[in-house]
Structure 1
């Protein structure tokens, strides 16, 4: 059984949904040694999230952002937690809705994503700063 783990720090990104598949793959090139296994990507933050969705059309990423901003708007009057501004509690809720980790199968040294699938970082803060990901690959070697 092979195990590999790296930490990836993504630079600060604007609020919205960003494709990060390429950055994740560059951070853990050892997946090429895994015949059958899993890749876990975990974000060490409570105001950003990870998800998998379409990797081709930027409209999808913009629509995701519009949906979540309408679903959980900033400055909601009944939220108490606003220590870091009006987007503080909404960012935590959006993060919980989408999640902090992904598990993606590895087949013959490659991620078993569908043709149109990519890994998204959901940045839910206006000024979220850099984001740390712990990326772990494990499985049977080739």
Structure 2
């Protein structure tokens, strides 16, 4: 028989950054007492995203940000949607190019992340926001 558990985790971001959320997610999963299953994470925003990425060398995160700054620069005259400033539409494009949801297997009571993998909330806006991640765990 399969069981389910859900919650919403909230995170305050300091502005544009990759914020590692592995530990709070891991803590919630472990508190559920499941041995096997599937964890789904879904971010409830259009100007932020979720990402599984290397958590050993912070230069990886900085390189990702430099790449996206080149790919989708703030204030690009191509964009007309600027209701909340020059980073508004670029943040939406960044969100569209990345992921709004992740699925991670749960095996032997642990998230099946690789040695150097971490779960990140990627804030695409320059100023900080409170972001919500809907969490769903199904398994036994």
Confirm or deny a common fold (TM above 0.5): yes
2:82 is matched with 82
Q: Is the 8 A contact 1:47 1:124 kept in 2?
A: yes
Q: Is the 8 A contact 1:5 1:28 kept in 2?
A: no
2:14 is matched with 13
Tell me, in whole angstroms, the C-alpha distance in 2 between the residues paired with 1:24 and 1:78.
38
Q: How does 1:1-142 map to 2 (within 5 A)?
A: 1-31=2-32, 33-139=33-139, 141=140
Aligned residues: 139
Structure 1: where are the runs of 5+ without partners? Answer: none
| Coordinate RMSD, CA, aligned | 1.2
Shift of 1:120: 1.1
Q: Is the 8 A contact 2:75 2:86 kept in 1?
A: yes
Shift of 1:100: 0.5
Tell me, in whole angstroms, the C-alpha distance in 2 between the residues paired with 1:79 and 1:136.
35
Q: Secondary structure at the match of 2:115?
A: coil
TM-score by length of 2: 0.94
Structure 2: where are the runs of 5+ without partners? Answer: none
Q: Is the 8 A contact 1:74 1:86 kept in 2?
A: yes
TM-score by length of 1: 0.92
Tell me, in whole angstroms, the C-alpha distance in 2 between the residues paired with 1:99 and 1:65.
15
Q: Is the 8 A contact 2:9 2:133 kept in 1?
A: yes
